[in-house]
């Protein structure tokens, strides 16, 4: 069932001045074709009170008596966002709209004004009469802007453009402000508890503030002198405002609506659609206080969803119900600036295939003050966890649109036809998260533009110390990885490593993406490399092979059960240490970069969300301080991590430092020593499939590793020293080093291998922590068997003369290298030697390259070759 098919409206009834609709009255709604134009929300089974016909119907008389057509005289601050037409308007308002009455005569035809106000603006569901605006006398009669300007209440003021809101006809307000609480910082207030209980802001204070308050004008001077032609904009681009919410506090929700209606020119707004995503707050239930209150708000209606479906589906329900050519999506806790809408519509008029958004200023959650020194500016990019990354814009000297790779998500405007043409929101998303990044990628890659309008500014209530509602972690993971799977191409693996929820929850899935893939093909969308090169050219890692050396856990080669760990405290100034390897990334997830040369933590800083890097003091600092964090040298062959900075730490290497007692070893930087096994580390190379979700591995045919066809387990013994066997060493993983250890009867699990004839691979009997199959790879490591670059592009061949040869292919059998025992008995732990592929000796008598392969059956060596 589509979201728009399971909605409820409050049942319209006849009201006296003081009798709002019944608390529990209900009535179903259906999106049906309207004889007046696009589909709109209509009532089913409407019953009016017995006095309905006797009630004065708002029409010509009410409009004429309101003074619709009074000469314009408005001087609100800097009203640069209003431009009146020079053509004279007819005095008063016609009681009927003639067929020649304006550009929308084909829309309204010959219906009475009261019929239009009822059908298009829900007059009979309102407890106040629509009286027409006193501020726009020169709009063309019959035009859409003219009609929109009719649907306003009485007592209009420059700061109440849609009239007096939320009051009965005798002026009694429906909302009463609560007593003002003490400041949040006062001793008698538990700050942490208040913010947590309030969902991230001081709710008791919000309840005590007026619903009608003027936001300060934060526009730059260049924006205040610009005029916009309301007739032009409203003729073709009037808007439906869609606000989706779940258990939003009533005060912030109503203040949002009041702000929009008070500050936005009525010709531009056709409707405000509130979409209730199955809230369980009693005031938000169908027939509850919110439904009653909207009877005292012009142009405003509520769509109630019959099940919780998340922000994306809720917005889609509102968009499907909307009848205007332009959709404006807003969060349910905003207050708009003067002139917030006009520049966005002006840009959509000039650029129909743009999605636009405003600059976002802040409402401080602790005291509800307004701030233009924090918020979200015009340029947004993304992090590799598929979450937006924003900065403030600062003062602007031009009102022109600013291209942005990504938008913030909660505030945007677009032409409905373009939005639907590129697929709308992805209905495979769940609840909340990453829909803004996905839509941003799709807009750019499929032929549209994403632009910030610097002269459009909206205040947004940002949360602190709490959340509005809980989003299941699997839903957030699904949305991010679904975005990465569809749009990020080769960068999918990087996104997967930055969203490792699947490593500990194997059954999660991104859902079916066939519809989105078909849309991508139909629209002939560009690839992700194009997006990085053209749209976001300053983004890091635009060339994966040139910038990322390794990704994953960093394991000690001497203490192979220990990995580098941030000790559950990813914060600036905190220490890194060692902890038992778990293979789930998180605290043990790192990325080794080349340009700049940094040892980064995958997790962001817990408070500031900054990227953190490891310093030679074994602490974490912001990666922006490049001189302190970007002077590493990673030697994959030797396994050393060396600091090259010109400071006291120059030429020191990361080392395991034994601790006292039963404590875990520490991490220190000590003078580099190639012979010191405590300075040997291994890390998974990149790119690889090591951290892909099982669903993706299954899709790529990588889940099970090579298929065994009855191959026996074997030991690989050195002919030079038969006491030593090739060993993957304890706790093998993608990228760990091969060694040679004392052979054990029947072989330890890390000494047992399978010779896979059909693929030419030598597979370990042991697997990774996460169960991935491992194979011997070039030159001296074990890698995932599905790693085409490191284990599948070549073939391993066991020859009769005892050579284990790395060949370029089974067909040519051209030897590339031979397995060689290196440094036998020079070390004692964890290996008595190392094994690597080196150039084959010219003669066959080099014992270091000769091996004995013994089959194991029931723990006994039974064959040799």
- 3 state SS for 486-541: HHCHHHHHHHHHCCHHHHCCCCCCCCCCHHHHHHHHHCCCCCHHHHHHHHCCCCCC
Same domain for 437 and 586, yes or no, is no
625 pLDDT band (50/70/90 cuts)? low
> Has residue 698 been placed in a domain?
no
Does residue 755 lie in a domain region?
A: yes
Q: Which residue, 406, 437, 461, sits at the end of a domain?
A: 461
Please tell me the distance from the alpha carbon of residue 444 to that of residue 537, in angstroms, as a whole number.
13
Does 146 score more than 50 pLDDT? yes
Q: Is residue 187 part of a domain?
A: no
- Give the residue-averaged pLDDT of 202-208: 96
Q: What is the predicted pLDDT for the residue at 797?
A: 82
The mean pLDDT of 9-24, rounded to a whole number, is 34
**Is 530 within the bounds of a domain?**
no
> Given a cut of 80, is residue 249 above it in pLDDT?
yes
Report which of 641, 648, 638 is spatially closest to residue 613, judged by C-alpha positions. 641
Give mean pLDDT, residues 589-607: 86
pLDDT-based confidence at residue 705 (cuts at 50, 70, 90): low
**What value does the CA radius of gyration of the chain take, rounded to a whole number of Å?**
34
219-233, 293-307, 602-616, range with the lowest pLDDT = 602-616
Query: Model confidence over 464-475: pLDDT tens digits?
Result: 887 777 778 889
CATH number, domain containing residue 419: 3.90.550.10
Characterise 458 by phi-psi region: left (phi > 0), alpha (psi -120 to 50), beta (else): beta
In this structure, are 673 and 734 located in the same domain?
A: no
Which H helix or E strand runs over 737? none
Identify the pLDDT of residue 174: 94
- Listed range (278-282, 426-430, 543-547) with the worst mean pLDDT: 543-547
Residue that terminates a domain, selected from 461, 494, 519: 461
Which domain CATH number covers 726? 2.80.10.50
Give burial (CB, 10 Å; 0-12/13-18/19+) of 507.
exposed
Instruction: Quote the percentage of the chain above a pLDDT of 70.
Output: 83
Q: What is the mean pLDDT of residues 351-365?
A: 97
pLDDT category at 44 given cuts 50, 70, 90 is: very low
For residue 596, whether the previous peptide bond is cis, meaning omega lies within 30 degrees of 0, is: yes
User: What number is the average pLDDT over the span 312-338?
Assistant: 96
Q: 857 or 427, which is more confident?
A: 427
Non-local CB neighbours of 158 within 8 Å, separated by 6+ positions:
74, 75, 76, 79, 135
Mean pLDDT, rounded, for 426-440: 91
The pLDDT tens digits for 532-589 are 999 999 998 888 878 899 999 999 988 888 999 999 888 888 999 999 999 889 999 9
Lowest-confidence region among 584-598, 631-645, 800-814: 800-814
- Among residues of the chain, what percentage have pLDDT more than 90? 55
From the list 129, 147, 133, 154, the residue with the least C-alpha distance to 82 is 133
Neighbours of 417 (CB within 10 A): 11
User: How many C-beta atoms lie closer than 10 Å to residue 671's C-beta?
Assistant: 11
Strands 334-336 and 354-363, sheet pairing: unpaired
pLDDT, average across residues 687-713: 77
| Interatomic CA distance for residues 589 and 568, integer angstroms | 12
Q: Return the pLDDT at 828.
A: 60
Q: Mean pLDDT highest for which of 579-583, 697-701, 771-775?
A: 579-583
The answer to whether the beta carbons of residues 205 and 236 sit under 8 Å apart is no
The pLDDT score that the predictor gives to residue 102 is 35
> What interhelical angle do 514-522 and 473-487 show, nearest 10?
30
- Looking at the fold, whether 741 and 657 belong to one and the same domain comes out as no
How far apart are the C-alpha atoms of 41 and 278, rounded to whole Å? 19
pLDDT of residue 412: 96
SS3 291: helix
Query: What is the mean pLDDT of the segment spanning 308-336?
Result: 95
Would 97 be classed as within a structural domain? yes
What pLDDT was estimated at residue 41? 32
The reported pLDDT for the residue numbered 519 is: 96
Bridge-partner residues for 139, per DSSP? none
pLDDT at 844 > cutoff 60: yes
Are both 765 and 656 inside the same structural domain? no
Q: Where residue 517 falls among pLDDT bands split at 50, 70, 90?
A: very high
Q: What is the mean pLDDT of residues 86-109?
A: 34
pLDDT at res. 793: 66
Tokens of 811: 């067909």
**Whose CA is closest to 491, among 386, 577, 561?**
386
pLDDT (0 to 100) of residue 795: 81
Are 113 and 59 in contact, with CB atoms under 8 Å apart?
A: yes
Q: What is the pLDDT of residues 209-222, one digit of tens each?
A: 999 999 999 999 99
pLDDT of residue 603: 84
Number of domains in the chain: 3
In a domain, residue 535? The reply is no
Contact 611, 622 (CB under 8 A): yes
Co-location of 252 and 349 in the same domain? yes
Q: What is the pLDDT of residue 831?
A: 67
**pLDDT tens per residue, range 188-201:** 999 999 999 999 99
Asked if residue 735 and residue 650 are part of one domain, the reply reads no
Question: Which of 77-91, 125-139, 533-547, 791-805 is predicted with the least confidence, judged by mean pLDDT?
Answer: 77-91
| pLDDT the model gives residue 703 | 59
Assess whether 440 and 556 both reside in one domain.
no
Confidence class for position 109, pLDDT limits 50, 70, 90? very low
The better pLDDT of the pair 703, 285 is held by 285
pLDDT at site 409: 87
Q: Is the pLDDT of residue 830 over 90?
A: no
Kindly tell me if the per-residue pLDDT of 506 is higher than 90.
no
**Token digits of residue 328:** 């404006």
In this predicted structure, the answer to whether residue 708 has a pLDDT above a threshold of 90 is no
Over residues 801-820, the mean pLDDT reads 81
- pLDDT at position 69 over 90: no
Mean pLDDT (whole number) for 145-158: 95
Choice between 447 and 855, residue whose per-residue pLDDT is larger: 447
Separation of alpha carbons 137 and 146, rounded Å: 9
- At 485, the pLDDT band (50, 70, 90 cuts) reads very high
Query: What pLDDT is recorded for position 467?
Result: 74
Same-domain check for residues 660 and 720: no
Q: Quick: pLDDT tens for 754-767.
A: 988 777 889 998 88
Is 78 contained in some domain? yes
Q: What is the mean pLDDT of residues 718-722?
A: 90
pLDDT for the residue numbered 62: 31
Tell me, yes or no, whether 233 and 346 share the same domain. Answer: yes
Residue 827 pLDDT: 60
Choose the weakest-confidence range: 106-120, 152-166, 314-328: 106-120
Question: First vs last Cα of the chain: how many Å apart?
Answer: 66
| Same structural domain, 750 and 821 | yes
Mark which of 442, 461, 480 sits at the end of a domain. Answer: 461
pLDDT tens column, 639-658: 999 998 888 899 999 999 98
Tell me the residue range of the domain where 64 lies: 3-174+219-461
Q: Are residues 325 and 443 in the same domain?
A: yes
Most confident by average pLDDT, 97-106, 454-463, 587-596, 810-819: 454-463
The reported pLDDT for the residue numbered 758 is: 75
- Please count the other Cβ atoms lying within 10 Å of the Cβ belonging to residue 82: 18
Q: In this structure, is residue 690 part of a structural domain?
A: no
d(CA 215, CA 162): 17
What is the reported pLDDT for 67?
30
Q: What pLDDT is attached to residue 809?
A: 64
State residue 614's pLDDT score: 93
Q: Are residues 158 and 243 in the same domain?
A: yes
The SS3 assignment for 355 reads strand
């Amino acid at each position: 069932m589509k979201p728009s098919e399971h909605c409820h409206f409050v049942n319209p009834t006849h009201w006296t001045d003081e009798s709002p609709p019944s608390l529990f009255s209900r009535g179903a709604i259906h999106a049906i074709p309207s004889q007046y134009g696009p589909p709109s929300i209509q009532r089913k089974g409407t019953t009016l009170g017995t006095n309905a016909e006797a009630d004065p119907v708002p029409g010509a008389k009410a409009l004429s008596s309101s003074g619709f057509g009074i000469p314009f005289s408005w001087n609100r601050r800097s009203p640069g966002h209003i431009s009146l037409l020079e053509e004279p308007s007819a005095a008063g308002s016609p009681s009927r709209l003639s067929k020649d009455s304006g550009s929308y005569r084909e829309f309204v035809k010959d219906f009475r004004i009261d019929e239009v106000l009822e059908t298009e603006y829900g007059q009979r569901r309102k407890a106040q009469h629509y009286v027409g605006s006193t501020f726009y006398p020169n709009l063309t009669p019959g035009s859409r802007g003219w009609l929109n300007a009719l649907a306003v209440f009485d007592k209009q003021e420059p700061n109440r453009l849609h009239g007096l809101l939320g009051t009965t006809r005798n002026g009694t307000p429906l909302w009463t402000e609560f007593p003002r609480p003490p400041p949040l910082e006062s001793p008698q207030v538990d700050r942490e508890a208040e913010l947590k209980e309030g969902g991230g802001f001081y709710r008791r204070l919000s309840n005590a503030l007026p619903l009608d308050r003027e936001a300060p004008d934060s526009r730059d001077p260049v924006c205040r002198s610009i005029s916009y032609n309301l007739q032009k904009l409203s003729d073709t681009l009037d808007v439906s405002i869609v606000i989706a919410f779940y258990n939003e506090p009533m005060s912030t929700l109503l203040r949002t609506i009041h702000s929009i209606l008070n500050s936005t020119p009525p010709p531009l707004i056709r409707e405000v659609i509130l979409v209730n995503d199955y809230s369980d707050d009693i005031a938000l239930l169908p027939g509850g206080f919110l439904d009653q209150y909207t009877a005292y708000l012009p142009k405003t209606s509520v769509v109630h969803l019959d099940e919780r479906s998340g922000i994306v589906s809720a917005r889609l329900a509102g968009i499907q119900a909307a009848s205007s050519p332009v959709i404006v999506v807003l969060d349910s806790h905003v207050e708009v600036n003067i002139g917030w809408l006009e520049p966005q519509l002006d840009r959509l008029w000039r650029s129909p295939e743009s999605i636009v958004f405003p600059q976002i200023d802040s409402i401080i959650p602790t005291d509800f003050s307004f701030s233009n020194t924090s918020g979200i500016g015009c340029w947004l990019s993304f992090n590799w966890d598929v979450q937006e990354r924003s900065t403030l814009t600062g003062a602007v000297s031009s009102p022109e649109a600013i291209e942005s790779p990504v938008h913030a998500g909660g505030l945007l405007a677009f032409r409905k036809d373009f939005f639907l043409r590129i697929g709308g929101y992805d209905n495979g998303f769940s609840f909340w998260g990453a829909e803004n990044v996905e839509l941003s990628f799709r807009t750019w890659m499929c032929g549209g533009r994403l632009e910030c309008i610097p002269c459009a500014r909206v205040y947004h209530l940002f949360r602190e110390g709490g959340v509005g509602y809980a989003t299941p972690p699997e839903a957030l993971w699904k949305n991010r990885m679904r975005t990465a799977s569809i749009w990020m191409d080769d960068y999918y693996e990087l996104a997967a490593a930055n969203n490792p929820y699947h490593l500990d929850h194997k059954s999660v899935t991104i859902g079916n993406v066939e519809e989105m893939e078909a849309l991508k093909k139909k629209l002939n969308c560009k690839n992700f490399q194009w997006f990085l090169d053209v749209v976001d050219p300053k983004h890091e890692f635009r060339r994966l092979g040139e910038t990322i050396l390794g990704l994953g856990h960093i394991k000690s080669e001497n203490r192979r059960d220990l990995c580098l760990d941030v000790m559950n405290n990813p914060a600036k100034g905190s220490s890194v240490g060692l902890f038992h390897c778990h293979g789930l990334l998180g605290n043990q997830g790192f990325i080794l970069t080349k340009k700049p040369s940094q040892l980064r933590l995958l997790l962001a800083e817990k408070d500031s969300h900054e990227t953190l890097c490891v310093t030679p003091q074994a602490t974490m600092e912001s990666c922006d301080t490049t001189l302190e964090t970007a002077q590493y040298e990673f030697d994959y062959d030797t396994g050393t991590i060396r600091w090259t900075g010109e400071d006291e730490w120059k030429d020191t290497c990361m080392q395991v430092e034994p601790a006292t007692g039963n404590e875990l070893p520490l991490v220190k930087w000590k003078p580099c020593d190639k012979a010191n096994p405590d300075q040997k580390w291994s890390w998974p190379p990149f790119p690889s499939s090591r951290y892909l979700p099982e669903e993706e591995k299954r899709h790529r045919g990588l889940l099970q590793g090579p298929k065994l066809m009855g191959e026996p387990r074997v030991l690989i013994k050195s002919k030079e020293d038969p006491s030593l066997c090739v060993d993957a060493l304890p706790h093998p993983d993608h990228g760990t080093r091969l060694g040679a250890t004392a052979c054990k009867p029947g072989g330890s699990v890390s000494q047992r291998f399978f010779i896979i004839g059909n693929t030419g691979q030598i597979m370990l009997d042991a697997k990774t922590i996460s169960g991935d199959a491992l194979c011997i790879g070039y030159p001296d490591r074990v890698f995932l068997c599905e790693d085409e670059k490191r284990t599948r592009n070549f073939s391993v061949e066991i020859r009769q003369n005892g050579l284990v040869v790395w060949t370029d292919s089974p067909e040519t059998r051209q030897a590339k290298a031979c397995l060689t025992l290196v440094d036998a008995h020079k070390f004692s732990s964890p290996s008595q030697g190392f094994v690597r592929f080196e150039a084959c000796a010219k003669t066959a008598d080099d014992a270091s390259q000769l091996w004995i392969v013994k089959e194991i059956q029931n723990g006994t060596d039974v064959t040799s070759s």
